[in-house]
Amino acid sequence: MRSAVRRLTLALMIVASLLTLFLMVMIAGDVLLRYATGSGFRGSTEVAEVILPAVAYLAMAYTQRRGEHVASSVVLDRLPTRPARMLHSAGMVVVTAFLAVLLLVTTESAIDSANIRESRYGLLGLAVWPTRILLAIGLLALLLENLADTWECVRSSNKKGSGVQVVPGAPETQGGS
């Protein structure tokens, strides 16, 4: 289960990485082209607006896995181990429920959007619904990662042992690839 989630998260991260590089090449290329020939790509701003949300939401599960969503453990660090773990578990459960609701409503709107082939105002009239679907997929992976973390957290809060494992905003602590 956990390994399937990891594979999904990594796959989405790779898509997000490629899209990020594409954004860079497209916008920088637009500037260059405009400089060289006097005219850039048609509608590059619209393309960027469709790709950017996909990058952001496909990345979130990976951020969760690397432990890079900023959290503050200042209070938790001062509590005794057992209440600290219970408080953290409770927080995790609430967050998981929130992500589930978020996934549900964004999936619904992605389906509605795909049904009417929703497009955006602009030059190219680009389709918006693929972005909405990618966004929901990103949230799904985030929910699954969070579910796995919550499960581990709740399980460990019933056991005796060392302190709570929370890493506030410190990068590279849980390893990248």
Q: C-alpha angle 110/129/122, rounded to 5°? A: 135
CB atoms within 10 A of CB 145: 22
- Burial label, 15 (beta-carbon count in 10 A; 0-12, 13-18, 19+): middle
- Does 145 help bind another protein (rule: CB under 8 A)? no
> Least distance to another protein from the beta carbon of 19, Å?
9
Q: How far is the CB of 83 from another protein (least distance, A)?
A: 11
Residue 130 touching another protein (CB under 8 A): no
Contact with another protein (CB under 8 A): which of 2, 7, 34, 155?
A: 34
| CA 50 to mean position of chain CA atoms | 16
Q: Is there binding between residue 156 and another protein (CB under 8 A)? A: no
Taking the alpha carbons of 152, 154, 159, 164 in that order, is the dihedral positive or negative?
positive
Q: Does 144 bind another protein (CB under 8 A)?
A: no
CB of 3 to another protein, least distance (A): 18
Q: Residues 13, 137, 140, 144: which binds another protein (CB under 8 A)?
A: 13
| Neighbour count for residue 47 (Cβ, 10 Å) | 19
Contact flag: residue 128 with another protein (CB under 8 A): yes
Regarding 111 and contact with another protein (CB under 8 A), the answer is no
Tell whether residue 4 is a contact of another protein (CB under 8 A): no
Establish if 148 lies at the interface with another protein (CB under 8 A): no
